[in-house]
Amino acid sequence: MTKGSINVSVENIFPLIKKFLYSDHEIFLRELISNGTDATLKLKHLASIGESKSEYGTPKIEVKIDKEGKKLHVIDQGLGMTAEEVEKYINQVAFSGAEEFLDKYKDSAKDSGIIGHFGLGFYSAFMVAEKVEIITKSHTDAPAAHWTCDGSPEFTLEASDRTERGTEIILHIAEDSTEFLEESRISALLQKYNKFMPIPIKFGTKEINDPEHEPATITDKDGKETKEPQRKITVDNIVNNPNPAWTKQPTDLEDKDYKDFYHELYPMQFEEPLFNIHLNVDYPFNLTGILYFPKLGQDMQMQKDKIQLYQNQVYVTDNVEGIVPEFLTMLRGVIDSPDIPLNVSRSYLQADGAVKKISSYITRKVADKLKSLFNNNREDFEAKWNDIKIVIEYGMLSEEKFFEKANDFALYPTVDGKFYTYDELFNKIKANQTDKDGKLVILYASNEDAQHAYIESAKAKNYEVLLLDSPIVSHLIQKLESTKENISFARVDGDHIDNLIKKDENAISKLSEEQKTALDTLLKEVIPSEKFMIQLEAMDSEASPFIITQPEFMRRMKEMQATGGGGMNMFGNMPEMYNLVVNTNSKLVGEILETKTKPKQERLINQSLDLARLSQGLLKGEELTKFIKRSYEMIK
């Protein structure tokens, strides 16, 4: 038996490891199973090239709880180690990493993101164990070895009578970590971190129906038939799927396979995803994965079920910010890349060059897939538009390269249910909706019901009206106006239709200049100037007498501020201001001017104003009650 002291300058390193890593101590199981997986895959490779005398077979990793003995066992059937390899890899290599770790982090707070980075995977066991044993038999003819350490720098290394190839790690669980002797806790950790590990993981056994037993039919003395009980057999309880969909080629998968895997990832999701994007690249970095578009509608909130990041089928995190472009974090699915460090801090991740390339690749791949879906089945793409537009519009705002590519598939729906790409829309409306200054005016509505009258006025002139109702539409149209040449967007209720798209012809007013001045004075005496800017307009005599609009710029700035347009508080603090467009050619307006008594004039003005406010949803509470009462009085 060999006794020795681990070559480390810091006395009793294990409490320090525990102190620094305690916030994430559950990852010890992930680390130990990952080590066992690596040992098994290395053996597979050596066996395939004839470098190992050992038969690879069908190895698995087993996790066992000994509650009475307060022990947790992790057993693999992989490469195993000789005593010399234990000395090298456990006593020397890991501790050179440990010293580097302590030197780097001795003055910092807890950081759960450094174990894998410093080669400390095995030593994470000491976060939960007061003593750790390794019993290991190499795939070579070398005798087995037994290593023991109780958390001090001293260890023992002796021969073992183990005959089976592989490694067993025995954790003597510490008093403050007895939760890891509970079956439910270990089962939950295996589901979280090891659900898709490439080697089968056994955790206990389970009973299943015997597939080779067909229950016989028994007939009693009265001729009544019954089936004998189904015979049960006990089998290993394998807790993982070693061959998840993302590890396969897209040509080997059907639509049902992708949907089944989606529900395997998210068992509580009952809705089907709209479509998926299979990622598969091996240059200039390795990355595989599947991203799913769920039904999003208008919801911009972060999803409960997020994209999961794996490294070689080992779960790392579902905080994929920095790896996945922000606009795609609303999607679901899996990304697996060996080029992303297994357990790294946020700052390291964001500064990593490979990570930035991965983010750029994912953006391009998603854009290419969307273009392909649009080209291959436009009708289906249009049907799904309302459920995916938030992601696409957000991407157009936040990623310049995606904005450029989206010109081929981003859609602009109309209130009549038609869908145009930007180029199609431009060509459709340029003849009719270009104003007298040569600027193309794109009309849109955000609420078909609330803006119905304004939409009808626009359609009466054969103008196309888009329906743009997502929460970030103000940001999007601002981006389009600054990118596309000589265009502007105008919401249909932003002004009278003739003012939204000004043509050369000027309507003639029925009122003289003197009458207009008198009308303006009268209106300003009755209508509060802090709420309404009055503008007299000569319009069609059949048009509404009073029309309330809100200046496009002011309303848009307020909307942008409400959905995260920083630096625009000045608009948010301003009171709501509206334009009151008064049609000087309306018969009612003429009657108001000619009415002899002041009270009647005021009553007609207030009633007309309230009707205009009602059409815009601005009449509420006590004012609405008074309006209804006044209207009944007028009917009498």
Report the CATH number that the domain containing residue 78 is assigned in CATH: 3.30.565.10
The string of pLDDT tens digits covering residues 334-370 is 999 887 765 544 444 555 666 777 888 899 999 999 9
**Average pLDDT in the 139-162 region?**
90
How much is the pLDDT for 148? 94
Q: Are residues 478 and 595 in the same domain?
A: no
Range of the domain at 94: 12-204
**pLDDT over threshold 70, residue 526:** yes
Question: Do 337 and 446 lie in a common domain?
Answer: no
State pLDDT tens for residues 25-62: 888 899 899 889 989 998 998 888 888 888 899 999 99
Q: Could you tell me if 296 and 153 lie in one domain?
A: no
**Residue 290 in this model has a pLDDT that exceeds 70:** yes
CB atoms within 10 A of CB 205: 10
Q: Which of 11, 16, 12 is nearest to 124 (CA)?
A: 16
Q: What is the reported pLDDT for 99? A: 54
| Residue 364: closest CA among 336, 393, 309, 404 | 404
Mean pLDDT (the chain) is: 84
Confirm or deny that 559 is annotated as ligand binding: no
The residue from 204, 230, 259 where one domain ends is 204
Q: Look at residue 276 in the predicted model and tell me its pLDDT.
A: 93
Confidence of residue 20 (pLDDT cuts 50, 70, 90): low
400-426 average pLDDT score: 95
Backbone angles phi, psi at 594, to 5 degrees: -85, -15
Tell whether 233 is covered by a domain. no
- Are 448 and 583 in the same domain? no
pLDDT at 541: 76
109 — pLDDT class (breaks 50, 70, 90): very low
Element (H, E) at 581: strand 578-583
Q: Is the pLDDT of residue 396 over 50?
A: yes
d(CA 124, CA 105): 16
Q: How confident is the model at residue 425 (pLDDT cuts 50, 70, 90)?
A: very high
pLDDT of 442 above 80: yes
**Do residue 165 and residue 199 come from a single domain?**
yes
Q: pLDDT of 549-595, one tens digit each?
A: 877 777 777 777 766 654 445 555 556 778 888 888 888 888 888 88
Provide the pLDDT for residue 10.
Answer: 45
Report pLDDT for 565: 55
Is 87 annotated in a binding site? The answer is: no
Residue 25 lies in a domain: yes
CB 294 within 8 A of CB 276: no
Q: Is 446 annotated as a binding residue?
A: no
Is 96 among the annotated ligand-binding positions? Answer: yes
Region 59-78: mean pLDDT is: 96
Alpha carbon dihedral 376, 377, 381, 382, in 10-degree steps, equals: 130
Q: Tell me: do 262 and 139 sit in the same domain.
A: no
Give the pLDDT confidence score for residue 115 in this predicted structure.
42
Beta strands in 380-484 (DSSP E): 412-413, 419-420, 440-445, 465-467
pLDDT at 136: 96
> Given a cut of 90, is residue 268 above it in pLDDT?
no
pLDDT of residue 445: 93
Question: What's the whole-model pTM score?
Answer: 0.76
Q: Which of 329-333, 374-378, 559-563, 632-636 has the highest mean pLDDT?
A: 374-378
What does the pLDDT read at residue 155? 86
167 has binding-site annotation: yes
User: Is residue 29 one of the residues assigned to a domain?
Assistant: yes
In a domain, 398, yes or no: no
Establish whether 81 is an annotated binding residue: yes
In this prediction, residue 466 has a pLDDT band, given cuts at 50, 70 and 90, of: very high
* Residue 329 and residue 321 in contact, taking contact as beta carbons nearer than 8 Å: yes
Are residues 286 and 370 both part of a single domain?
yes
**Position 635 pLDDT exceeds 80:** no
Name the residue type at position 468: L
Identify the domain boundary among 472, 500, 528. 500
- Tokens at residue 535, please? 């503008």
Statement to judge: residues 486 and 518 lie in one domain:
no
What are the start-end ranges of the E strands in 138-209?
Answer: 144-149, 154-160, 166-173, 201-209
Q: For residue 112, is pLDDT > 60?
A: no
Q: Judge whether 383 lies within some domain.
A: no
* Across 86-105, average pLDDT: 63
**Residues 521-542, mean pLDDT to the nearest whole number:** 84
- Determine which of 59-68, 414-423, 485-494, 497-506 has the lowest per-residue pLDDT on average: 497-506
CA distance linking residue 442 with residue 432, whole number of Å: 11
Closest of 581, 491, 519, 518 to residue 544, by C-alpha: 581
The CATH number that applies at residue 307 is 3.30.230.80
